[in-house]
Structure formats: C-alpha cells, structure tokens
Structure 1
Amino acid sequence: MPEHSLASKQLRICLDGYNFAMPKGTGVATYGLTLARMIREMGHNVEGIFGLDVGEAQETRETVLYDLIGRERRETRKQFRRRVRQEKIRAFLKRRVLEVPVTEKIVKDGILDRIPSFDRIWSSASLFEIANWHFRYFKKFLTIDLPQPPDIMHWTYPIPIHLRGARNIYTVHDLVPLKMPYLSLDDKSFYYRLVDSCVNNSVGICTVSETSLMDIVERFPSAEGRIFNTYQSSPIPAEVLASNPETDARLIEQMYSLQRSGYFLFFGAIDPKKNIARIIEAYLSSNAKSPLVLVSARNWGMADTAGSESGIAIHGRTISSDRIIQLDYMPRTLLFRLIRGAKAVLMPSLFEGFGLPALEAIQLGTPVIASNVGSLPEVVGNAGLLVDPYKVADIAAAIEILDGDSVLRNRLITAGIQQSEKFSDNHYKDRLNKLYSNIMNN
C-alpha cells in the first residue's frame, strides 16, 4: 500500500464550527461543509467543535445548539460591552468543553445544506472570541482538552486554538489582509502573528490554490515542506443535478421574471475584494441589453460600496437603474438554479484565494468573466474571459462580448465542463487523502 493511502484506517477528524454558526453562511462555511462531506465519503468519522453556549443540561444541549446555529446575535450596546468584558476575563481561565449528544431527536434534514452531519459534537461558550483575547494577551494559542481527542483537528480557518492530543492543522485560504491591507478591516499585526503561529505551531498547513501556497511560503518560509494545496470542490446539490434545466429556467422566470441566458449574475459578499463598484460601473457603461442580477447578503463595512434598503450605494450614491436587479440571500439550491440560467457570472475580483463562485458557475455550464490575477486563472482556465480587474473598460468590453456572442459562450461552456473536472469530488478526496496520510505518517 502506498505511503499516502489511508484506505485501511478510519480516522476521527474534527472540524471547527466557527463559520458554520454564522448567519447566512460564508465562503469558508461552504468550504467546511464540503470538507466534512468528503471526509465522511472517505470513510472517516466527522466531529465538530462549536463556540456556542449550549447550557449545562445535557438533555437539551443538542436542541440549544441547533437553535443557536445561524442565529443573528441581537444585543444592546450595554449587553455587548458586558459580553466583551466577560470574554476578556475568561481568556485567563481554562476553558471547559462540553459534549453535545448526537441523537435522532432533532430533525436535521432541512439544514444539511448548511450544517454537516457530525458523529460527535463539542461546544464551549464564546470559545473563538475568548481564544482571540487569549492570543492578544499571551501571544500564544488557547489550549483546550477533550476526554478522547480525535486523530486530527482540522481548523478550517486561522483560529488561535490548539487541541491537546490531536494533530492540529490549519487552513489558510489567502493572505489578503497582509497582501492587500487596504481591502480588509482586520487587525494586520494580529493577523500576521496569528498566521505565523499557525505555521510554526501545527503539524501542517492546508491551503486551496497554488497562488495562496506561494504567497504563504514567500511570507512565512518555515511553511515550506509542511504546506499542502488541496484545492477544493463544490458538489452540486443532488436536487439540482436531478432537475431539468428547462424546468429550472421556468422556475426562475416565474419567480424573478428572468429568462434563461438572459441576465448577468454576481453573487457573493459585498466585500471590497469582490470589486463590486467597478462591476456595476462597467456594466452600466456597457451596451449590454441583458440585466445584471446581484445576489448578496453581507456588507463588510466598505466605504465606497454598501447595501441599503433602497439598493447598493457606490461612492456615497445609491444606484438606481432598472437594468440592475438586487436579490437577498437565498437557499443554495435556488442560487444554483439562478447560476445555471445566467448568461455569465461576473467575478473580476481584486484577489481570490480560490474563487468558489467561479467553479460553481463553470460546473453548471455558465461562462465566467474573471480577473487575471490571484487564483482565478487557475480555477477558470479557458472557461471564461480574463480581464484586468482595475480597468473598467476591460470589464465592460468582456460584458458586451458575452452579451452578443453566443458562439463564444457555447465554446466557453464546453471548456468549463473539462476545466471543472480538475476540481471534482474524487480529485479533492485524493488530495485530502495525501494531506491526512502525510500528517499521520509524520
């Protein structure tokens, strides 16, 4: 049996619930959801650690956990200040992690598209917030204990926690806060120390593209030889795979009055690196006849672009155009149907560590207008048009070309089917197998 194979050994692999618990999800939550599914399909047990207050009563912990997952935290300024004070105090104390019973008493079918199916679950109130304060105060990771630690603790994000007795690995998706500091609100000194500690105090670092791998090794040379690019996959929901594209098109037309291949689409967070201001400017300056649909649920405090009740504001002014349609967060299956029916997905991001929306688009037979920087050329390949994300005229020209050239669109669709195979579930599982085998063998 080759050294990198785990075919005969079942592992217990634990994932953090940091992003799973966020309202309306994140790209990292999708990453974690897919990772959990692949681990289970590889024959391993999947466990989870959350930072939610599930209470002392064991018989209600599972109910409380699933009640809190994804819930918006609503608190007054006074409540916020009290909570932060308590978290700071708890940063000096040892954390107690409680096991949450995994039973059949909770109907989980309706949330499996957001929360993985776990074999065991653990939780500790405000664990991730307390760990951040602990790291600020002591410049070292918060160590937690479980009575029976798993073989591998795979943190899906740089989190300053170490699980004693397990092989700890951390996924670093990109170095945007360090590489493009003007695009994020992160504390840059804190983030640098955090990633540096992840690199130097773990058995391995996982990342999701060759671009990110090279960036990490360049900034943190000690990562070389211990960093693994697994890329990632994005499984299409079975319900979407089984559906007829014509049926999906009728559904989208009835719900949103959008015709198949009759609209451009942007979906994702209203995040500075997504370049939404230039996307809208390019679209409005183009002669495209097809409307632009924006699907987004999160605003990251951007100065130039923000969500408002009346629409998206750019440079302080709300965009008012009947050519632009703004939709809020929607279930993943419905979003995939919307992607499938688009003329093209617009993703000329200023930087991406991977670019999951681009992969999801080409898997569904939708061309992409993507930037020629970061990891997007790796993901898109020949299945889209690559543009300079800083040049509005380049983005506008690509929009006009795809709006009117059906022959080119068909060629890109065909290329997308071939390109997306590089990121199939099987290829992802092979790369994860090599990662975990290396971690276990070394």
Structure 2
Amino acid sequence: MGDERTTIASVGIDGFNLALPQGTGVATYGFALAQAVRSLGLSVEGLFSVPVGRDARMQEILFYEAMGRGLPPRRGPAWLRPILHRAAVARGLRVSQIPESGRIESAGFVDRLPRFDRLLSSAHLFEHAEQHFRRTRRFLELKVANPPSIMHWTYPIPVRLAGARNLYTLHDLIPLKLPFATLDRKRFYHRLVERCVRDADHIVTVSESSRRDIIELLGAPEDRVTNTYQHTPMPEVLAGEMADVEAIFGVRPCGYFMYFGAIEPKKNVARLAEAYLSTDTPHPLVLVGARGWQKDEELRLIDAMSRRAGRAGARIIQLDYLPRRLLMHLVRNARAVLFPSLYEGFGLPVLEAMQLGTPVITSNRGSLPEVAGDAAIIVDPYDISALTAAIARVDRDPDLRATLAQAGREQAARFSLNEHRRHLHALYSKVLATPPR
C-alpha cells in the first residue's frame, strides 16, 4: 500500500455503538473498520463517551466497567440536565486519554472491542452533542491534542473533531424509506443526516443501494458519497473450534433453520414465521433476536400463530442475545439462514451466513440482492407463499443446499478484509487530497 503512513498517519473511530454490551450491526461495522484501518499500517484511535473521572488510577477501570455493564445512569433530576449540558459545552468538554496498563482482564472483549493505539473518552459526549444539535442545529466541535488525520464516525453523530477530516458513515436511510418501521424522530433524523451531508468532508456508505438513496433523498453530490462496502470479522477461535449445538441448544447440525438479528417490524419476522409454519418441514426454526422495537409484539404474534399451528408450535425455538462466538457456531450449523428483511443498508447476516457456508434465503429489497448476488434464493419479502416455497425447496434438496453453500463462500470473498482496506485506502487518500470543508 506504499505511502499511506505518511499521507494518513492515524484514523479515529467513535465508540458510539462499540460501547453497547450486546452490540449492534453498526458495532460490528466499527470493529471491522478498525481492523481494516490497522491492516493499512495506520494508527487507530478510539473516541468514547464514557465518564471516567479525573483520577488516572481509576480511568481504565471505569472504562472497562462501562464496556461490560453499559454506561452508568445520569445523576440528578431530568430538568437540571439541559442547564448542566449548556454549562459543560460553554466551558469546553474535557477529553481524557485513558491509560492502558495491561492490568485489566480484557480478554473477554477481544471479539467486540478493537485494539486502539490511543483511547480517548469525553463524559457523555454523544448525549451533549445531541442536545447541542437540538438547540442550535449545529454540530458540536470537539478539540483534542494531536487529532488524527481522519475522524471516521461510524454513525450520524453530531460532532466534528477539530483539526481532522470528518467522515460520516450513513449505513442506510431506513427512517426515511420505511418511516413506519422505526421509532426514530423523523424530523430530527432528517435534519441530522442533511447536516451530515452539508458539513462532512465526505459521506461513506456500505452499498450502492444506500449510496443511491443518499444522493436522491438528501441531494448529496455524487463525488462526495463513497460506497466502501465492508467485511465481517469472525471470532478468532471459530476456525479451530467445533461447538456441539445439539448439547448446547438441543438442535442437530443441519437440522434447523435460523433467523438472527433484531426483532422489529422491518425485519419481517412475523411473515417469516407464517411462511415457515406453512411448510411441513420437521426441522425447527431458531429465532435469535436481539432487543428491538416492538420485539414483544412481534413475538406475541409468532406465539399466536404457533398455537394455531397446533403441534407445529414447538417447532419455533426463541433465543435472546447470544455472544458472537456462540451465535456464529449456530449459524455455521444451520440448514439455512432465513433473512427476508423489508430493507437493509447492507445485511450483515446474509454475508456472515455465506462466509460460513450456510445456504441463505433473503429478500429482493434494498441492498440484499447486491450482497447476496447469485449465491442465495431471493424472494419478495411481502409474498408469504413465495417464501414458503423457497423454504420447502431448500429443505428437500440437498444438492441445492450444497450449491448454495459453495456459491455463498465465493460471493462472500468479494467482501473480504483486503477489499475493504483497498476501498478505504482509496477513500482516505482522496479525502486528504481535497481541501477541507
């Protein structure tokens, strides 16, 4: 990659999603981004919103406590917070560099927290930034000593890092494309992403589908929006370890279908369950659902359908959040992964399943056909009969499953670490070669 050390030097990445104990798709993106940046030979700096205090002896301890348990709740009455927010912003937010002594037992974070060359945190930074944007409709400017060459925000966060080129990743515009399917406050979200487009040194996204949306819906200039795609890191122990899914989860290898991801309206889980229950397959459906909007309502609907299906009700197994290592073992051993989402900016579950050689049935909306290519069965997510037929076809045809598994591995190779780092290097070089905004 030549001279990237002298032209870029270091890249900052926010911890907005990385700090969530149970993770998100954006957290996986942040982890993968840090891995790709480091593979370029660049320094990686993390910027978090964790309150770690002024005592250097306690800062590392408090940081890792928050990584494991979540951010501590704010103290004091709610009415006082706007006053405290304005006072904090007026006097300038303090940024602490967290010492890394090596004394913390951090091995449990290896699959979700990147290795940073410099770790920074400013107490409640992201909350302050949101309040500041609501009040002024401007991004909060943050100053740190020796800022990185590029600050790559993994989410539309209303902060600008002074002295750095600020890039913002907009994974999708789902609140504007499917406004009925998210709880985002639409006016606020629209102002926020419009301001990102206006003020950013560059906008990054992860599919051509999302890039088109950003250009068409937000009026972004085409030369200021770049699709880098992404890769998905697998837990290091996965390659040399075989988990006994029957002993752990009560299902046999290749003997169950699987959905994993948030359980919320846009994921289309209720239609998926209806289609599955319409088949005569003896193989159960395992739903691994992280917290999401209307999760309880969606699961109640699935329970009601299961009861109507009589004995078939026992065929749906519901699991909550799983650590990534166990989740990927379950994916690798599934008969097929079913992911008929109504819309995705990228669709990580599809890539993760193909990377592990698991057949995929997915939808023809958003970026999903782009990610799946010809390596999956693609259906209209609103057409329950088509989804039912696809499940039955994959269930009964071992040759088709073998073909999909092989094609999936080949398609997944198009979203490798090397491809991701190549796109990033071209993007960062381009941004630094143009005048800052």
Same fold (TM over 0.5): yes
Change (3 A) 1:50 1:86: farther
Change (3 A) 1:151 1:316: same
Please tell me the residue identity of whatever aligns with 1:266: Y
Aligned-pair CA distance for 1:335: 1.0
Q: Is the 8 A contact 2:231 2:415 kept in 1?
A: yes
Q: Is the 8 A contact 2:8 2:149 kept in 1?
A: no
Q: 2:143 aligns with which of 145, 160, 166?
A: 145
Tell whether 2:281 aligns with 1:288.
Answer: yes
Q: 1:45 aligns with which of 43, 46, 49?
A: 43
- Normalised to the residue count of structure 2, the TM-score between the two structures is 0.93
Q: Give CA deviations for 1:229-273 in whole Å, capped at 9, x if unaligned.
A: 010001222311223xxx43xx11111121111100011111221
Tell me, what secondary structure is at the counterpart of 1:431?
A: helix
Aligned-pair CA distance for 1:210: 0.3
Q: Is the 8 A contact 1:10 1:45 kept in 2?
A: no
Q: Give CA deviations for 1:91-131 in whole Å, capped at 9, x if unaligned.
A: 75332222211232223222111111111111111111111
Change (3 A) 1:107 1:316: closer
Counting only pairs closer than 5 Å after superposition, residues 101-250 of structure 1 correspond to structure 2 as: 101-243=99-241, 247-248=242-243
- The corresponding residue for 2:247 is 254
Tell whether 2:299 aligns with 1:299.
Answer: no
Aligned-pair CA distance for 1:65: 0.5
| Alignment coverage as a number of residue pairs | 428
Q: Following the alignment from structure 1 to structure 2, what is the Cα–Cα distance between the partners of residues 166 and 152?
A: 5
Q: Following the alignment from structure 1 to structure 2, what is the Cα–Cα distance between the partners of residues 372 and 91?
A: 47
Q: Following the alignment from structure 1 to structure 2, what is the Cα–Cα distance between the partners of residues 54 and 396?
A: 52
Tell me, what secondary structure is at the counterpart of 1:313?
A: helix
Change (3 A) 1:62 1:164: same
- Normalised to the residue count of structure 1, the TM-score between the two structures is 0.92
- Structure 2's unaligned 5+ residue stretches are 308-312
Aligned-pair CA distance for 1:44: 0.5
- The corresponding residue for 1:433 is 425
Q: Is the 8 A contact 2:226 2:427 kept in 1?
A: yes
Percent identity, please: 46
Q: Is the 8 A contact 2:306 2:314 kept in 1?
A: no
Q: 1:67 aligns with which of 60, 65, 68?
A: 65
- The corresponding residue for 1:372 is 364
Q: Following the alignment from structure 2 to structure 1, what is the Cα–Cα distance between the partners of residues 76 and 388?
A: 47
Tell whether 2:371 aligns with 1:384.
Answer: no
Q: Following the alignment from structure 2 to structure 1, what is the Cα–Cα distance between the partners of residues 306 and 38?
A: 45
Between Structure 1 and Structure 2, the one with more helix by share is: 2
Aligned-pair CA distance for 1:134: 0.5
- The corresponding residue for 1:28 is 26
Q: 2:263 aligns with which of 238, 246, 270?
A: 270
Change (3 A) 1:329 1:141: same
Q: Following the alignment from structure 1 to structure 2, what is the Cα–Cα distance between the partners of residues 192 and 214?
A: 16
- The corresponding residue for 2:347 is 355
Counting only pairs closer than 5 Å after superposition, residues 407-426 of structure 1 correspond to structure 2 as: 407-426=399-418
Q: Give CA deviations for 1:193-250 in whole Å, capped at 9, x if unaligned.
A: 111111111110110000000000011223310111010001222311223xxx43xx
